[in-house]
Amino acid sequence: MRDRIFAVIGATSVAVVMATTSIGVAGQAKRPAQPAKPAAAKALPRTPDGHPDLTGVYDLATLTPVERPNGMSATLTDEEAAKLEKQAAARRDLLAQPSKGDRDAPPVGGDGSVGAAGNVGGYNNFWLDPGNAYFEIDGQKRTSLVIDPPDGRVPQMTQAARERLMANRNARPTSDAAENGRDPGFEGPTAYDDPERRPLGERCLLGFGSTSGPPILPNYFYNNLHQIVQTTDTVMILTEMVHDARVVRMNAQHLPSSVRKWLGDSVGHWDGDTLVVDTTNFTDKTRFRASTVDLHVVERFTRIDEKTLRYRFTIEDKNTWPQPWTGEYIWPATDDRIYEYACHEGNYALGNILRGARLKEATDAKTKSKQ
């Protein structure tokens, strides 16, 4: 049953994508990749030490997913993008329509909603703030962040990684864990035993969906703001959700391998006008996409115009993928402000979830003793 429900939802969620399956390679042919113009770079803002000034607040919200949906080409024409963006807008408009004021309570047994809404319907759409456009880079509207492999998909994990995953399937969930579809009974038998069995996002330790990274990814729901503060010696990358500040030490050596950090140890240098940030020394707690402590992330920040950065990341972990893989997207500057996200302040949910699990245990035990 569970699989069938997911199949239903899967079919629904890809419906928008399927509408674009007729898209050919015309878009690609029409829009050859254009390298950034060096002439324009001269006019870009620079710090007193002569490097491009990356300082600013950036809003990473986008409709472009990390991996390319099946059946889509690598790029969209303006018309194709406009059509998909219009569909997304239409869905938002539908969800904003008034309900009946004299409506009844929702159905007993749940409303059938899936994902994090968990059969109880989550909350209203007005709380969300996702992107509403596909990002454009080198004149191309992209359908995935992943650019290498060229199919826009993260490489298949190695056999060893799959076996590790299977052996650890009841391990503590990671910061990028999908928190969808998890109801008591759906997760492993120990998943609700104590707070440390809950996902890092639910515990307010990191944002979900690798918001802090590295690599820093859009979360597709809300609070996609990041701030860069740059000095000669350090670059700080602040992630609104969950108030993580990663300090990149410029022209420094990595810490000894015995020192492990939640966001890894980041050191930076300039490659021409591109800031290159190299991160290693991860813990075994975040495990980006099931990777290990040997994860190695290289990020490249390039200012491509006064309001936009290009953010490229390459991921390497021989314990997890047979080859490195790379993604990129743009970071548009925004006038919006980053606000405090004091996640523990109102996190009644974690207590509610754990007490709910204890109640279920008590109820199940009572039922069993009657049998």
Q: Which of residues 246-285 bind other proteins (CB under 8 A)?
A: none
The residue within the footprint of other proteins, chosen from 78, 111, 271, 284 (CB under 8 A), is 111
Quick one: 85 or 278, whose CB is closer to other proteins? 85
Alpha carbons 329 and 188: distance in angstroms, whole number = 35
Alpha carbons 10 and 181: distance in angstroms, whole number = 12
Task: Provide the residue type at 286 as one letter.
Answer: T
Q: How far is the CB of 31 from other proteins (least distance, A)?
A: 15
Check binding of 5 to other proteins (CB under 8 A): yes
Alpha carbons 159 and 100: distance in angstroms, whole number = 53
Quick one: 139 or 149, whose CB is closer to other proteins? 139
Q: How far is the CB of 231 from other proteins (least distance, A)?
A: 17
Check binding of 98 to other proteins (CB under 8 A): yes
Check binding of 47 to other proteins (CB under 8 A): no
The residue within the footprint of other proteins, chosen from 43, 48, 103, 366 (CB under 8 A), is 103
Q: How far is the CB of 156 from other proteins (least distance, A)?
A: 27
Quick one: 111 or 163, whose CB is closer to other proteins? 111
**Residues 6+ positions from 153 with CB-CB distance below 8 Å:** 67, 68, 144, 146
The Cα-based distances of 85 to 124, 136, 363 in angstroms read: 21, 13, 47
From 31-39, 156-164, 229-237, 356-364, span contacting other proteins (CB under 8 A): 356-364
296-335 residues near other proteins, rule: CB under 8 A: 306-308, 330, 332-335
Q: How far is the CB of 151 from other proteins (least distance, A)?
A: 22
The residue within the footprint of other proteins, chosen from 113, 158, 234, 314 (CB under 8 A), is 113
**Residues 6+ positions from 1 with CB-CB distance below 8 Å:** none
27-46 residues near other proteins, rule: CB under 8 A: 45
Alpha carbons 266 and 282: distance in angstroms, whole number = 10
Alpha carbons 53 and 228: distance in angstroms, whole number = 10
Check binding of 69 to other proteins (CB under 8 A): no
The residue within the footprint of other proteins, chosen from 221, 238, 319, 326 (CB under 8 A), is 221
Alpha carbons 284 and 268: distance in angstroms, whole number = 23
Alpha carbons 5 and 342: distance in angstroms, whole number = 35
Check binding of 210 to other proteins (CB under 8 A): no
Quick one: 173 or 213, whose CB is closer to other proteins? 173
Both structure tokens of 263: 């966001």
Size of the site for other proteins (CB under 8 A): 105
Say if strands 244-250 and 265-271 run parallel, antiparallel, or are unpaired: parallel
* Chain centre distance of CA 107: 33
170-209 residues near other proteins, rule: CB under 8 A: 179-184, 186, 192, 198-199, 201-202, 204, 208
**Residues 6+ positions from 144 with CB-CB distance below 8 Å:** 64, 65, 66, 67, 68, 74, 152, 153, 327
- Torsion angle of the four alpha carbons 20, 145, 9, 15, in this order, in degrees rounded to the nearest 10: -10
- In order, the DSSP letters of 55-84 are -EEEE---S--SSPPTT--SEE-HHHHHHH
Local structure of 362: helix, strand or coil: helix
**196 secondary structure, DSSP code:** G
The residue within the footprint of other proteins, chosen from 29, 43, 105, 167 (CB under 8 A), is 105
120-149 residues near other proteins, rule: CB under 8 A: 120-136
Q: How far is the CB of 217 from other proteins (least distance, A)?
A: 13
**134 secondary structure, DSSP code:** -
Q: How far is the CB of 366 from other proteins (least distance, A)?
A: 14
Q: How far is the CB of 280 from other proteins (least distance, A)?
A: 29
Quick one: 125 or 323, whose CB is closer to other proteins? 125
From 112-120, 149-157, 160-168, 293-301, span contacting other proteins (CB under 8 A): 112-120
Q: How far is the CB of 98 from other proteins (least distance, A)?
A: 4
**261 secondary structure, DSSP code:** B
Q: Do 146 and 67 form a contact (C-beta atoms < 8 A)?
A: yes
Q: How far is the CB of 73 from other proteins (least distance, A)?
A: 19
